């Protein structure tokens, strides 16, 4: 009864501090200023284009008004929000630590201190047991409203540590170096860099990357000289469709640079022992050829989609790396997707996807014999964790399911013995209270779409349970059935949680990605809608209590399904949503543009313009009875700019024919990832869940 009264009060009345009854809060009014956008003879009118200027005080004022409105709507539910926050906090392991990784006589690990927001990075000398603090992010973040640390990047002799921090949220980092022998910071401060750092073997140099300050495209590689305190540009990617990053494998003989677009790769390599030499090209870029090179000590291994949509593995000897000299090691399989590779001195460990589930394959480098690590759960995730050293016979992986918290295993590659090294024991949580399932639904074009489900153990398919559905479906990123300790606050209240593995990810192989991008993007939205309807038809859930959640490109998914089937959903949470697709993809001065043409299509070409126009959420807002909507964004978001969700909310408000809530919450301090502290993130999640629960009976 009290819950219902609170719901009514949210829509009808607010009480002032002196107890007077006032009118319900009014949503902020966004002024209209017509902006005509013309392309291919087609004109779009954008009345809210002016919100793009974050330097305009009127824009900031409007965002602050939206925050005040959202707070006022949710204020009657403050007790519920506090309760959910306490539930989320109660499942936090206050003194959580990572299991140590051994390297060169040291153990490296991190831990949280009870009550603190950020981790502390440490190492222990195995000879004398002395523990040293490498980075205390809590101390470094004092006085900062946002703070993100890369963690330590240790030199080969283990005497120096580079690390990077971002105190704004736009993913521009400052790099510093500490001498671990004296615990003193060196007089080095490299600003506006990325948190992508690799040391040379002689410990005198490290390599790092930088991004364009306007487009945010990472395009430069620098070498820093510790002795001379100078940076030298060693590589610059001119093609605006490509971004650059650097990496190194366990053998540490080479440093690799990758120029990467959505569908094309070019890798250069450098002997880590000759850091001042020039990078050499491994294989020149070929359109739609994606490959990755691994340092195998005495040879290279190459994961490539050359005539192999699901990838295959090759090897090549130094000095004979032309494609004609590649020797196939693992052939292409139509039903297995080769996702990643870890190369040890004696073994290769491959991460695969089969029917949307993780598989781990081990191959002996000497006799070429193979075997798989067995898993039996219906829906789970098994992924490589931090490895120790190239010569190790132990492979570390993390296993989890939607009801099983992470378990860290060390697997002996010779004996095949598996040892549980660490299990996250979540406070106030019992896995036996819940169950998981995995079903396949048939989409409208006949394709089978997997859905991973989490629910209470006593759940019955009686069509009475509310549901939170979740999806992403872009960039070939697989949404694995992972453990989310926050979602149990909904499960305990009778919800079913469903991850819908729509096309656009790579859960079922490369074709699953290709069938959900560019001119096949509508499959992503149709899959989600069809799966949602089938959950109701099967009476797994109540079709009148369906909620959906997605972030970034998953937020685009939320916007599209809301326009196509506004009647299907009770409420939607769109986190940092990419919703103004057409305008953004026509503006090559901002992120998510030139490097994304292979993902969305280039709207400078009419066929892609017309296709994107079909689904771009902002462009397809119409007179309709929209579901309840909570939209979140960050003022400093470097991936999806804040103005996209802000404009979207303004247009939705003027078009919505129902009295549903349409709320915008802007974090004025953070970027794409939201708040940086672990408790601050829980507060954000508590707001989202409060919104869902408060609208359930409206």
Residues labelled as active-site residues: 552, 637, 672
Q: Shortest CA distance to 88 belongs to which of 407, 428, 541?
A: 428
For the chain, how many residues are written?
Answer: 698
Tokens of 365: 């480098």
Sheet strands (E) in 379-500: 380-384, 394-401, 407-412, 418-423, 434-442, 448-456, 467-470, 496-500
Supply angle C-alpha 129, 397, 674, rounded to 5.
Answer: 90
Cβ–Cβ under 8 Å, residues 224 and 190: yes
618 close to 583: Cβ distance less than 8 angstroms: yes
Q: What is the CA radius of gyration of the chain?
A: 26
CA atoms of 360 and 418, how far apart (whole Å):
13
Instruction: Please state, in angstroms and as integers, the Cα–Cα distance from residue 643 to each residue in 30, 35, 609, 632, 649, following that order.
Output: 12, 15, 21, 11, 10
Mark 667-689 as b/e (b = at least 16 C-beta within 10 Å): bebbbbbbbbbeebbbbbbbbbb
What is the number of H-type helices and E-type strands within the chain?
Answer: 13, 41
CA distances from 384 to 2, 33, 85, 474, 633 (A): 48, 52, 31, 22, 31
Say if CB 470 and CB 548 are below 8 A apart.
yes
On whether the CB atoms of residues 627 and 571 are closer than 8 A, the answer is yes
The half-sphere exposure of 571 on its side-chain side, counting CA atoms within 13 A, is 25
């Amino acid at each position: 009864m009290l819950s219902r009264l609170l719901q009514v009060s949210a829509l009808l009345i607010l009480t002032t501090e002196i107890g007077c009854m006032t009118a319900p809060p009014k949503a902020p009014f966004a002024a209209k200023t017509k902006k005509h956008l013309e392309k291919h003879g087609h004109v779009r009118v954008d009345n809210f284009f002016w919100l793009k200027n974050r330097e305009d005080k009127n824009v900031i004022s409007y965002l602050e008004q939206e925050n005040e409105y959202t707070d006022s709507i949710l204020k009657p539910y403050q007790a519920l929000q506090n309760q959910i926050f306490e539930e989320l906090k109660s499942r936090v392991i206050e003194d959580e630590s990572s299991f140590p990784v051994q390297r060169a006589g040291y153990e490296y690990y991190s831990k949280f201190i009870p009550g603190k927001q950020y981790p502390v990075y440490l190492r222990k000398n195995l000879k004398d047991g002395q523990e040293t603090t490498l980075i205390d992010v809590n101390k470094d973040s004092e006085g900062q409203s946002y703070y993100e640390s890369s963690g330590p990047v240790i030199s080969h002799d283990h005497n120096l540590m580079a690390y990077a921090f971002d105190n704004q949220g736009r993913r521009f980092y400052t790099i510093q170096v500490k001498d671990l022998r004296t615990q003193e910071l060196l007089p080095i401060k490299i600003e506006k860099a990325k948190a992508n750092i690799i040391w040379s073997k002689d410990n005198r140099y490290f390599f790092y990357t930088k991004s364009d300050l306007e487009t945010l495209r990472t395009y430069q590689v620098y070498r820093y000289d510790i002795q001379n305190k100078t940076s030298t540009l060693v590589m610059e990617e001119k093609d605006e469709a490509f971004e650059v990053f650097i990496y190194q494998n366990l053998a540490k003989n080479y440093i690799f640079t990758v120029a990467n677009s959505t569908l094309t790769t070019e890798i250069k390599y450098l002997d880590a022992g000759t850091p001042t030499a020039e990078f050499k090209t491994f294989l020149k870029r070929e359109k739609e050829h994606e490959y990755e090179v691994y340092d195998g000590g005495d040879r290279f291994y190459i994961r490539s989609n050359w005539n192999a949509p699901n990838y295959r593995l090759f090897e090549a000897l130094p000095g004979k790396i032309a494609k004609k000299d590649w020797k196939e090691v693992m052939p292409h399989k139509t039903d297995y997707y080769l996702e990643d590779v870890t190369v040890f001195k004696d073994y290769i460990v491959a991460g695969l996807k089969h029917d949307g589930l993780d598989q781990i394959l081990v191959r002996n480098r000497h006799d070429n014999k193979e075997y798989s690590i067995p898993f039996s759960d219906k829906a789970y995730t098994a992924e490589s964790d931090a490895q120790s050293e190239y010569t190790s016979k132990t492979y570390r992986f993390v296993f989890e399911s939607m009801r099983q918290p992470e378990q860290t295993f060390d697997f002996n590659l010779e004996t095949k013995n598996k040892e549980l090294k660490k299990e996250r024991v979540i406070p106030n949580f019992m896995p036996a209270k819940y169950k998981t399932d995995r079903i396949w639904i048939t989409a409208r074009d006949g394709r089978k779409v997997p859905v991973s489900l989490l629910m209470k153990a006593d759940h019955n398919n009686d069509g009475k349970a509310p549901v939170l559905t979740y999806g992403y479906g872009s960039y070939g990123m697989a949404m694995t059935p992972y453990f989310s300790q926050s979602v149990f606050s909904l499960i305990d209240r009778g919800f079913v949680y469903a991850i819908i593995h729509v096309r656009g990810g790579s859960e079922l192989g490369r074709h699953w990605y290709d069938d959900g991008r560019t001119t096949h993007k509508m499959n992503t939205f149709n899959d989600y809608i069809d799966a949602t309807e089938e959950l109701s038809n099967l009476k797994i859930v109540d079709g009148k209590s369906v909620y959906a959640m997605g972030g970034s490109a998953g937020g685009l998914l939320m916007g599209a399904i809301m326009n196509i089937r506004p009647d299907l959903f009770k409420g939607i949470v769109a986190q940092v949503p990419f919703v103004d697709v057409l305008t953004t993809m026509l503006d090559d001065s901002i992120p998510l543009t030139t490097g994304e043409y292979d993902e969305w299509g280039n709207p400078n070409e009419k066929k892609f313009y017309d296709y994107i126009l079909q689904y771009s959420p902002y462009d397809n807002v119409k007179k309709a009875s929209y579901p309840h909507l909570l939209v979140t964004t960050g003022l400093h978001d470097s991936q999806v700019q804040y103005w996209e969700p802000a404009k979207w909310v303004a247009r939705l408000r003027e078009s919505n024919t129902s009295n549903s809530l349409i709320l915008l919450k802007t974090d004025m301090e953070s970027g794409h990832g939201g708040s940086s502290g672990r408790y601050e993130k829980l507060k954000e999640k508590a707001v989202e869940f409060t919104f869902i629960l408060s609208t359930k009976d409206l």
